[in-house]
Structures are given as C-alpha cells and as structure tokens.
Chain A
Amino acid sequence: MAPSEQLRPDLWTTVNERYPGSMIRKSDAVALATLGVPLERARLCFVSSAGVQPIGTLPFDVAHPLGDFSYRTVPSNAVPSDLEIHQLKYPSAGATQDLNVIFPIERLQELVAAGRLGSLTPQFFSFIGYNMDPVRFERDFAERLAAAVHAQEPDVALLAPA
C-alpha cells in the first residue's frame, strides 16, 4: 500500500464535528531555510509535543477541553529519570519503558559525544499536542514557541509531533 493510501478522508469530518475548526489544512509552502553548517558542527534543538517535562514543573493541563497553550523547557543535559510525561492522547507504554522512543534525549546526547552532531541547545522544548483552538495556536502559541526556540540559536531543529 502506498503511503498516500493511508490517508483517512473521513478523519477531518469526524474530528471537526466534535471540535469545530480544529483540523487545519495549509496550502502554501514555507520557504526553506538553509542549514549553514555540516551536521557534525550543527547545534540542534529538539521540540516535542509529547508532554514530557522536568519533574517538579507545573504539569500540563490534560483535562482542559481546549488543551494547554503553554510549553516547558527541558535541559538538554537532563536524564530520563529527571523527566515525566503529562499527556493522555497517545500510547505511552513504550515511553514508560524507554523515554527515548518519543523524546530521544539520550540518543541526541550520544550523537554529540560521537561527533555526529555538533552540540545541543541548552534547552529543549515540550508541550502537549492537544490544542483545540487552532487560531489561537497559530497566531499566539506557535509564534511564541518558535521565538523561544530560535532564541536558543539552533542551526537545526528536530521536531516530534506526538
């Protein structure tokens, strides 16, 4: 089966009936930014919507009907035992055993140590993907988070939409 055949044409209808306007489509392409250095010298920032956060930080609000429009910073030198997950919308069985399946912080640290990547930004970023106000998400949250990531001066950003 070709990947395009995995499209679920009824998904938008179904979800939009329950959460009007929540499923977005974009038809315009964003101009590609250029990677200015080889990966071996590049500084990487990781961004996740898996609800991973340092233990002791304010838990994401997983009960609010519109979601949680905040993000957490995660120190890139953290270890999995420093972190916990507050998110209900995806199967976290694997992440409970090995956080790297959704938030590969140890693998990124190892790739830097092995010289495959240059370095990591001091902070990674995390939020929850359940946000049911797409206008607010796009105009406010996405811009705020993108600015915060950009302020870490990454050469490249790796994102994992949970």
Chain B
Amino acid sequence: MRPLDEKETAAVFEKLFKFTGPNLKVMVERPAVEGPAGDDPGRYCLRLHKNRVYYASESLVRRATSVARGRLVSLGTCLGKFTKGGSFRLTIQSLDLLAAHARRKVWLKPTAEMSFLYGNPVLKSGLARITEGVSPGDGVVVFSMSDLPLGFGVAARSTQDCRKAHADAIVVNRQADAGEYLRNEDDL
C-alpha cells in the first residue's frame, strides 16, 4: 500500500473529473466520516494497493498500516484499478461516490433498467431523462427513476442529438453497472 505517484494521481483524477467535473474538489476535500470523532476528522486520501486505487480516510489508512501487505485485501472504497497497460479504469465500487458528485446524469425508464444491469448500453428508447448539456465523451452516471444509481458510462451523443436520435440509438456506453457485483464477483 502506497500513496499514488504523480502520474498515477493524474490518471485517476482525470478519470474522476470526467464524471464529477468541478465537484472533484469537494470529493477530495470532504471531511472524513469515520475516524476519531474530534475536532479534526481528517481527510480522505487515495492509496494504491495491488494495482487498485482505494479511497479511504486518513485514520483508516493509519490503522491499515498495521496489517501486513499480503494480508490486506481491501481498505475504504475501491475506485478502480490500473490495468497492466498502465491505464486506469473505474470499477463499479466507485459508483456511490460518483453518484453523489456526478455532474451528468441519465435516468432510465423502469423497463430499461434490467437491460442496463445485464451489461447493455443505454438506448434512446430507455432514456427517461437526461441532464442538459451532455456532450459526447462525458462521463455519465445512470440512475433509476427512483434516484438509485445503477452504473455509469460514457455518453455517446449529446443531449441535443438525443432528441433527434432514433429509438435504437445508443446514448450511453456502459462502463460499469451494478449487475457486475453478480456477474464479475470473482474479479472484484
């Protein structure tokens, strides 16, 4: 377990920024929930452990140091992992964090939820609502109509294009969905 070096940090933040936009600052600087209940609750920080990036409070990190590296499976929230090629991927565990700070959101119709959770992209026909001002390539968090985050992905077309798009057109390319907890249980 070690702090991220500069390159890695840049890669992680770049990815997160796609989803959160200016809220990234809030996400990084927010006071820790767990930890000693005192005047200074401490901040959250990013740690790299076995190619995975974890988002954990400082107190947790301090406590985790007492665990041997080999024995430590996970700490805090896993944001994503570095691939063998060196690029960073967000994983489904980061969904809650992203959903809380997301800028671009897509709401799915109830009929399209299952399709999305099975790993399919979001089609125009399944789109109930979309944030204004989405441009292609933006990170988008997918919600159900009851504001339950389902997953996230990358917008395939802008909000304007969505209006005129065909019903079968892909709006959001899936990156991760909550269904992965079942499908890829082993990898996570």
Answer yes or no: are A and B bound together in one complex: no
List the interface of chain A (C-beta within 8 A of B): none
List the interface of chain B (C-beta within 8 A of A): none
